[in-house]
């Protein structure tokens, strides 16, 4: 087994260990049990109505000036009353649709193995007398399952009875025979709602018979069975027969249907997945181990190799209609932690952090689609909460609503104004790799700048603008309440948004840059650390999982060891003082990303070790939020590739940094196919004593090259490969 897949010698007993496939719309959790083969079906649109679908942002704009006056006068709890008194309202929770069950009489056979091939998105389970293969097509948007040697009898049904399914879920089953075999359907109406979802499965039987066996069908004597499944969320009724016709149209007139469907899918999936590869010189014997065994070999190179590959695979597979949720695109339980939402104040950007460098524009496009679909709601947030033009992003969204309504006294997320810049930053990075401005990104940045024009109106005694109210997710000063003044993230976001908007819109550049220049500088506290709040007198709270105050280090380029060495030292001190709080995976890996930018290889290695040693990964190689596989969550799985990339390669539109923070455990390796923000593809090879890089630029320019041996200019010519001959380091 290469690094581009994983396998297990036994069926998955828990849904968390099920192998995963997805196309960014539909998801599949595959158990691969010969006697009770189960595939849990998910879809990005499946969120349960809970009142959040009707929630609106609080109308607080008229109270803003009074709040600002109180905060500026030193009232450290003033923001606690900046609310309309509503209780905490969670966004609509993500949930699974149902499971496809294929049951047959138990047989005592040997040689079981299940695997997933990252290059194809195909999961396979096999035994001497049976094979089941599943993938989710990126070409046809359908879940495809093919069972060969089905045995004398196979019962097939759609089963909604999954953990946490609500009482009162109105479920109806349908089954009818067709020339191919059968058409199954399951319609579920949410309690107390006119909203529903319907799943449809076409069953095509080869050399066998099919008979109704409510709520499903019984297949007898078949050589193979092909199942095609889709699910739709809707209001009112859905025409199941029409859905069946659409599925039937996917079957080829000649040839093997499964192979034909897979061949249509592969160019879209494989091309994307294979753009970037990482080889850390893993032990071949460890590379051959099943994932559950390899996860216990935390000090070898084979484990991070496979997790890097799995992370890119899962990130790609969960991105399409929308980017990944907290659970990616998968869950087997209706009670998803934190509603299975898009948590945008940290988690979403961490999960997608590798997309630009790791050449997954499909992920960036999904991220852009989420933003584009919610911009009208962002405008409503700015108007309602702050009485301003422009846009304000929410800290939580279910993918449908982008309105700010999830907040409370302890989590006053409606005060967070940095979100739009934070969420647009990956789109700006993507534009830099292409060398051109996307009109949609340009338009959104202009709206962010308009918000700051209206919001940044108060000044301090030195004439600097004050961000008031201000909020550093999800922390508070040691001597004040959560809503306060001049959080470091807010300052960095406002500066970056205004200056970036100026680059996209030269006609407004002078006034937006002038506004950015009036913001106060970051503050260094008495311990030599970059303060989380630049307002004098606000004390830091160090033991916290978020590192929002170091936004200027990562992902921004505002603070770095080359241009701002004093601030970089203060940021490094702040990082060293930061605690792990509750040991969440995203906190450790966020720490590692910042450490890599600050060239601290030991701190990167320590953060990786904490995740690799903490039992964060299931046998599926999807991860958990906490150690000991507690709470299914995609943060670690999706973010780990970004950490390894940042430790090896960093780029800006004018700089390339090679091997800035290589963990000592990986002295030899290859990272190929990386995209840089100055428009060149990069292949990097290194050994304990030397390294070589090949650049394939798409535009002509000069960049600054930084390696361990020094700094020099690098002149690149579009279309001409540039080889950096071996240098010692």
pLDDT value of position 110: 83
Q: Are residues 438 and 493 in the same domain?
A: yes
Instruction: Check which CATH number belongs to the domain holding 232 and give it.
Output: 2.70.98.50
332 sits in which H/E element = none
Q: Are residues 75 and 120 in the same domain?
A: no
pLDDT value of position 10: 96
- Asked if 467 and 456 count as a contact pair (C-beta separation under 8 A), the reply is yes
Q: Are strands 216-220 and 153-159 parallel, antiparallel or unpaired?
A: antiparallel
Domain count, the chain: 2
Cis peptide before 606 (omega within 30 of 0): no
Beta bridge partners of residue 220, listed in sequence order? 153, 209
Q: 10 Å Cβ neighbour count for 364?
A: 21
Beta bridge partners of residue 703, listed in sequence order? 714
679 phi-psi bin (left φ>0, alpha ψ -120 to 50, beta other): left
Q: Are residues 145 and 38 in the same domain?
A: yes
Containing structural domain, residue 118:
5-44+94-274
Beta bridge partners of residue 705, listed in sequence order? 656, 712
Count of CA atoms in the C-beta half-sphere (13 A) of 398: 27
Q: Are residues 13 and 80 in the same domain?
A: no
Q: Are residues 109 and 203 in the same domain?
A: yes
Cα–Cα dist 454/386, whole Å? 9
- Asked if 204 and 252 count as a contact pair (C-beta separation under 8 A), the reply is no
In a domain, residue 377? The reply is: yes
Cα–Cα dist 646/533, whole Å? 27
In a domain, residue 305? The reply is: no
Task: Using DSSP, state whether 353 is helix, strand or coil.
Answer: coil
Structure token digits, residue 666: 């990986």
- The domain boundary, picked from 226, 255, 274, lies at 274
In a domain, residue 598? The reply is: no
**pLDDT tens readout for residues 261-318:** 999 999 999 999 999 999 999 999 999 999 999 999 999 999 999 999 999 999 999 9
**Mean pLDDT of the residues in the chain:** 96
- The domain boundary, picked from 517, 540, 563, lies at 540
**pLDDT tens readout for residues 600-641:** 999 999 999 999 999 999 999 999 999 999 999 999 999 999
Q: 10 Å Cβ neighbour count for 697?
A: 22
Q: Are residues 188 and 257 in the same domain?
A: yes
Cα–Cα dist 474/338, whole Å? 14
> What is the per-residue burial (b if ≥16 Cβ within 10 Å, else e) of 499-516?
bbbbbbbeebeeebbebb
- Asked if 119 and 5 count as a contact pair (C-beta separation under 8 A), the reply is yes
The percentage of the chain sitting over the pLDDT mark of 70, rounded to a whole number, equals: 99
In a domain, residue 608? The reply is: no
Q: Are residues 426 and 449 in the same domain?
A: yes
Structure token digits, residue 310: 């799995």
- Asked if 636 and 611 count as a contact pair (C-beta separation under 8 A), the reply is yes
Where do we find the tokens 């199941």?
240
Cα–Cα dist 356/645, whole Å? 11
Residues 6+ apart with CB under 8 A from 592: 603, 604, 607, 608, 643, 646, 647
Q: 10 Å Cβ neighbour count for 210?
A: 22
When pLDDT is cut at 50, 70 and 90, the band that residue 150 belongs to is low
Instruction: Check which CATH number belongs to the domain holding 458 and give it.
Output: 1.50.10.10
**pLDDT tens readout for residues 389-399:** 999 999 999 99
Beta bridge partners of residue 103, listed in sequence order? 36, 155
When pLDDT is cut at 50, 70 and 90, the band that residue 729 belongs to is very low
In a domain, residue 268? The reply is: yes
In a domain, residue 372? The reply is: yes
pLDDT value of position 254: 86
Q: Are residues 145 and 212 in the same domain?
A: yes
Q: 10 Å Cβ neighbour count for 625?
A: 24
Q: Are residues 82 and 207 in the same domain?
A: no
Q: Are residues 79 and 190 in the same domain?
A: no
When pLDDT is cut at 50, 70 and 90, the band that residue 129 belongs to is confident
In a domain, residue 589? The reply is: no
In a domain, residue 248? The reply is: yes
Q: Are residues 451 and 415 in the same domain?
A: yes
**pLDDT tens readout for residues 479-536:** 999 999 999 999 999 999 999 999 999 999 999 999 999 999 999 999 999 999 999 9
The percentage of the chain sitting over the pLDDT mark of 90, rounded to a whole number, equals: 96
Whether 174 shows a pLDDT value over 70: the answer reads yes
**pLDDT tens readout for residues 693-703:** 999 999 999 99
Average pLDDT over residues 661-666: 96
Going by C-alpha positions, the residue among 437, 561, 547 that lies closest to residue 502 is 437
- The domain boundary, picked from 219, 253, 274, lies at 274
Where do we find the tokens 């950096």?
724
Q: Are residues 61 and 183 in the same domain?
A: no
Task: Using DSSP, state whether 209 is helix, strand or coil.
Answer: strand
Whether 728 shows a pLDDT value over 60: the answer reads no
Residues 6+ apart with CB under 8 A from 403: 55, 56, 57, 377, 380, 381, 394
């Amino acid at each position: 087994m290469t690094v581009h897949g994983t396998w297990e010698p036994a069926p998955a007993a828990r849904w968390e260990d099920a192998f995963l496939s997805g196309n960014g719309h539909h998801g599949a959790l595959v158990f691969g049990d010969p006697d009770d083969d189960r595939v849990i079906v998910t879809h990005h649109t499946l969120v349960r109505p809970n009142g959040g679908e009707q929630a609106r942002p609080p109308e607080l704009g008229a109270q803003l000036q009074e709040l600002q006056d109180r905060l500026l006068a030193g009232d450290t709890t003033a923001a606690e009353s900046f609310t309309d008194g509503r209780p905490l309202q969670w966004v609509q929770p993500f949930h699974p649709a149902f499971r496809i069950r294929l049951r047959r009489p138990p047989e005592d056979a040997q040689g079981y193995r299940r695997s997933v091939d990252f290059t194809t998105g195909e999961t396979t389970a096999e035994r001497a007398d049976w094979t089941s293969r599943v993938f989710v097509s990126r070409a046809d948007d359908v879940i495809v399952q093919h069972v060969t040697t089905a045995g004398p009898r196979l019962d097939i049904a759609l089963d909604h009875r999954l953990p946490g399914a609500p009482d009162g879920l109105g479920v109806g089953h349908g089954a009818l025979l067709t020339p191919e075999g059968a058409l199954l359907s399951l319609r579920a109406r949410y309690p107390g709602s006119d909203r529903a979802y319907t799943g449809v499965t076409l069953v095509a039987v080869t050399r066998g018979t099919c008979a109704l066996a409510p709520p499903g069908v019984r297949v007898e004597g078949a050589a193979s069975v092909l199942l095609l499944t889709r699910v739709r969320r809707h209001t009112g009724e859905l025409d199941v027969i029409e859905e069946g016709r659409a599925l039937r149209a996917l079957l080829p007139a000649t040839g093997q249907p499964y192979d034909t469907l897979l061949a249509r899918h592969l160019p879209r999936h494989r091309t994307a997945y294979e753009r970037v590869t990482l080889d850390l010189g893993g032990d071949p014997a460890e590379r051959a181990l099943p994932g559950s065994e390899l996860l216990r070999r935390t000090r070898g190179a084979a484990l991070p190799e496979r997790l890097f590959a799995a992370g890119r695979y899962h990130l790609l597979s969960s991105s399409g209609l929308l980017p990944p949720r907290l659970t990616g695109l998968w869950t087997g339980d209706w009670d998803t932690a934190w509603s299975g939402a898009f948590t945008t104040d940290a988690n979403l950007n961490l999960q997608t952090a590798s997309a630009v460098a790791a050449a997954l524009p499909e992920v960036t496009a999904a991220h852009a689609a989420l933003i584009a679909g919610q911009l009208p709601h962002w405008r409503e947030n700015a108007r309602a909460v702050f009485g301003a033009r422009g846009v304000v992003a929410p800290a939580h969204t279910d993918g449908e609503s982008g309105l700010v309504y999830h907040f409370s006294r302890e989590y006053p997320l409606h005060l967070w104004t940095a979100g739009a810049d934070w969420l647009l930053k990956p789109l700006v990075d993507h534009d830099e790799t292409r060398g051109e401005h996307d009109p949609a990104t340009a338009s959104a940045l202009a709206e962010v700048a308009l918000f700051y024009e209206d919001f940044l109106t108060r000044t301090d005694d030195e004439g600097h603008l004050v961000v008031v109210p201000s909020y550093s997710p999800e922390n508070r000063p040691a001597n004040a309440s959560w809503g306060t003044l001049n959080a470091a993230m807010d300052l960095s976001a406002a500066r970056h948004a205004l200056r970036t908007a100026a680059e996209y819109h030269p006609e407004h550049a002078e006034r937006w840059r002038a506004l950015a220049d009036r913001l106060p500088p970051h503050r260094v506290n008495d311990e030599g650390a970059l303060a989380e709040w630049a307002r004098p007198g606000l004390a830091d709270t160090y033991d916290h999982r978020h590192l929002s105050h170091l936004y200027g280090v990562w992902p921004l380029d505002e603070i770095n060891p080359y241009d701002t060495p004093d601030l970089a030292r203060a940021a490094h001190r702040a990082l060293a003082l930061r605690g792990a709080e509750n040991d969440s995976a995203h906190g450790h890996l966020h720490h590692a990303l910042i450490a890599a930018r600050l060239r601290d290889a030991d701190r990167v290695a320590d953060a990786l070790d904490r995740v690799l040693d903490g039992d964060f990964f299931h046998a599926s190689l999807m991860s958990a939020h906490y150690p000991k596989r507690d709470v299914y969550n995609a943060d670690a799985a999706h973010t780990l590739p970004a950490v390894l990339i940042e430790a090896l390669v960093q780029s800006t539109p004018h700089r390339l940094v090679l091997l800035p923070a290589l963990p000592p455990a990986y002295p030899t390796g290859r990272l190929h196919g990386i995209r840089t923000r100055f428009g060149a593809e990069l292949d990097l090879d290194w050994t304990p004593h030397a390294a070589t890089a090949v650049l394939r630029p798409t535009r002509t320019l000069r960049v600054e090259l930084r390696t361990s041996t020094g700094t020099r200019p690098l002149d690149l010519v579009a279309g001409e490969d540039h080889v950096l001959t071996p240098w010692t380091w």
